[in-house]
Amino acid sequence: MQTLLLLVGWCILFVLCWPLALLALIAWPIVWLLSIPLALIGIGVGAVFALIKALLFLPARLLGYRG
């Protein structure tokens, strides 16, 4: 459903302002490629926070707390 709405939105943009629609069509893969390293950084930061949380809650888990 989201893909259909995106396609309809792009078609409306193409009718209203075709240079902007073509620019969006060309720029989207470039923006996607540039966002991949940021996604990897986000995954890494999430993993570090999960490790810190596990280390902080380790004493409580050893004492039998299951929250």
Which amino acid type is present at position 12?
Answer: I
Question: In this structure, is residue 28 part of a structural domain?
Answer: yes
pTM over 0.75: no
pLDDT, residue 66, reads: 74
Q: Consecutive sets of 10 residues in the chain, 67 residues long: mean pLDDT of each? A: 91 91 91 94 97 93 81
Residue 4 CA to residue 42 CA, distance in Å, equals 29
Overall number of domains in the chain: 1
Question: In this structure, is residue 67 part of a structural domain?
Answer: no
Q: Return the ∠ at Cα 65 (arms to 60 and 67), rounded to 5°.
A: 110
Q: Which domain holds residue 44?
A: 2-62
